Amino acid sequence: MAEKKFKAMIVEESADNIFQRIIKEKSTGELPDGDVLVQVKYSSLNYKDALSATGNRGVTRNYPHTPGIDASGIVEESRDDRFRPGDAVIVTSYDLGMNTPGGFGQYIRVPVDWVVKLPPRLSLEESMIFGTAGFTAGVGAWHLSAIRPDQGEILVTGATGGVGSLAVAILAKCGYSVTAVTGKSTEKQFLRDLGAQNIINREAALDTGGRPLLKARWAGVFDTVGGEMLATAIKSTDLYGTVTCCGNVSSPDLPINVFPFILRGIHLVGISSQNTPMDLRLKIWDRLADKWKPEKLHMLPKYIPLEALDENIALILKGQQKGRVVVDLEK
Ligand SMILES: NC(=O)c1ccc[n+]([C@@H]2O[C@H](COP(=O)([O-])OP(=O)(O)OC[C@H]3O[C@@H](n4cnc5c(N)ncnc54)[C@H](OP(=O)(O)O)[C@@H]3O)[C@@H](O)[C@H]2O)c1
């Protein structure tokens, strides 16, 4: 098929450690070889995209580069029988947006094994309100389902962020009593609207006293921030509770000892959404499309064009984003 011109954000290194982001015209001929060419309709902004867009070599090794770990759109070409032109699809995880040009461009070309058919009852737009953030919250909900709602409260940290806000909404939809931790005192109503029953300030959720165990308060925890916050949450989890861990916006360290595990039998479950096996991936997307889909899903996003990514990247890096940022590639 003839090459097509399209618009994409390109991150370029102009000098050592100086990265600039510009919107440029590209051609589908410049995309890497792959099985499926997708016209991207929506993408979304995640913390990892902000790292890629600002030169973090742990996420993206080589520049110039187009970030965007999330994309949903319509298949335009496929050399694999599993997909045909016109199919609506979701592409997240694997290497998309890391070292493979991602969803901050109007076209992507990817291996077929990265592509998920859009489930019934989910629109392309909704799939990107979830995006990697919602998928990660879904993986957490999957592991936390070991806990019955009548066993007690579930704590969600970083609650107004992309992953946290979707975790609050999904876990509330699953019937849990959710307690949300936030550093944004002005956003309590936002969290209540999503389904949080209790809200605590970030400082009140931190214990830096060094005690190995604290009063047991939580049946389960969905942590997005790591560091002292995760350590405090683990030490405050009740017998045989489950704690999931996915992020490190506070710190990658975990200042803790073994006592919560050997005295309370706590299960600490790591989430690597990027490497979730396809069979579980499909189950999670099916649930997000149906029984886990929050009624308030549409209150979470703001919609932006590619041109507004720069200012939103700055906000997410400062921990000041609320809910989700959906990139509308047709705007
Ligand atoms: N492992 C995986 O598969 C996976 C997948 C997706 C994301 N992640 C990780 O999960 C984390 C969250 O991602 P995101 O896209 O949701 O980011 P985000 O939208 O920026 O949300 C992070 C939230 O954490 C809170 N926060 C910020 N700085 C903090 C600090 N110093 N201490 C405590 N809380 C702080 C803020 O919420 P409040 O103001 O409400 O406290 C902030 O909105 C990131 O580390 C990301 O890399 C991992």
Domain assignment present for residue 126? The answer is no
Name the 3-class secondary structure at 171: helix
Residue bearing the CA closest to ligand 1, atom 21: 161
Domain end call among 236, 257, 273: 273
Chain segment 126-155, per-residue pLDDT in tens: 999 999 999 999 999 999 999 999 999 999
What percentage of residues in the chain have a pLDDT greater than 70?
Answer: 100
Q: Which two tokens stand for residue 317?
A: 């890096």
Residues 113 and 196 in one domain: no
Domain assignment present for residue 127? The answer is no
Contact (CB, 8 A) for 166 and 300:
yes
Residues 19 and 78 in one domain: yes
Give first-to-last CA distance, the chain, whole Å.
25
* Mean pLDDT along residues 48-57: 97
What percentage of residues in the chain have a pLDDT greater than 90?
Answer: 97
Q: Residue 89: which CATH number?
A: 3.90.180.10
Residues 149 and 260 in one domain: yes
Residues 84 and 187 in one domain: no
* Mean pLDDT along residues 35-48: 98
pLDDT at 14: 86
Band the pLDDT of 1: cuts 50, 70, 90: confident
Chain segment 159-185, per-residue pLDDT in tens: 999 999 999 999 999 999 999 999 999
**Mean of per-residue pLDDT scores for the chain:** 97
Looking at the structure of the chain, the number of domains it has is 2
Residues 218 and 149 in one domain: yes
Residues 137 and 230 in one domain: yes
Q: What CA–CA distance (Å, rounded) separates 231 from 257?
A: 9
List, as own/partner pairs, every contact residues 197-204 make where C-beta atoms lie below 8 angstroms and the sequence separation is at least 24, other chains included: 197/153, 197/172, 198/153, 199/159, 202/229
Domain assignment present for residue 107? The answer is yes
Residues 227 and 179 in one domain: yes
Q: What CA–CA distance (Å, rounded) separates 92 from 282?
A: 12
Q: What CA–CA distance (Å, rounded) separates 159 from 131?
A: 17
Domain assignment present for residue 123? The answer is no
Residues 175 and 201 in one domain: yes
The set of residues, in sequence order, having a beta carbon less than 8 Å from that of 2 and lying 6+ positions away, is: none
Domain assignment present for residue 64? The answer is yes
Q: What CA–CA distance (Å, rounded) separates 305 from 329?
A: 6
Residues 148 and 103 in one domain: no
Domain assignment present for residue 41? The answer is yes
The conformation of residue 112, written as its DSSP 8-state character, comes to G
Q: Which residues line ligand 1 (CB under 6 A)?
A: 46-48, 132-133, 136, 158-164, 182-184, 202, 224-225, 229, 246-250, 271-274, 316, 319, 321
Question: Ligand 1 test: best mutation among 49, 249, 269, 312, most atoms within 8 Å of CB?
Answer: 249
pLDDT at 167: 98
Residues 304 and 184 in one domain: no
Question: Ligand 1 test: best mutation among 156, 163, 272, 324, most atoms within 8 Å of CB?
Answer: 163
- Centre of ligand 1 to C-alpha 158, Å, is 6
Residue 279 clears pLDDT 90, i.e. is over it: yes
Residue 177: half-sphere exposure toward Cβ, Cα within 13 Å: 10
Chain segment 94-123, per-residue pLDDT in tens: 999 999 999 999 999 999 999 999 999 999
Q: Residue 170: which CATH number?
A: 3.40.50.720
Residue 17 clears pLDDT 90, i.e. is over it: no
Q: What CA–CA distance (Å, rounded) separates 68 from 70?
A: 5
Domain assignment present for residue 285? The answer is no
Residues 210 and 171 in one domain: yes
The residues facing 18 across adjacent strands are: 15
Residues 264 and 150 in one domain: yes
The residues facing 74 across adjacent strands are: 39, 88
pLDDT at 48: 97
Chain segment 193-218, per-residue pLDDT in tens: 999 999 999 999 999 898 999 999 99
Domain assignment present for residue 207? The answer is yes
* Structural domain that includes position 243: 133-273
pLDDT at 2: 87
Contact (CB, 8 A) for 37 and 112:
no
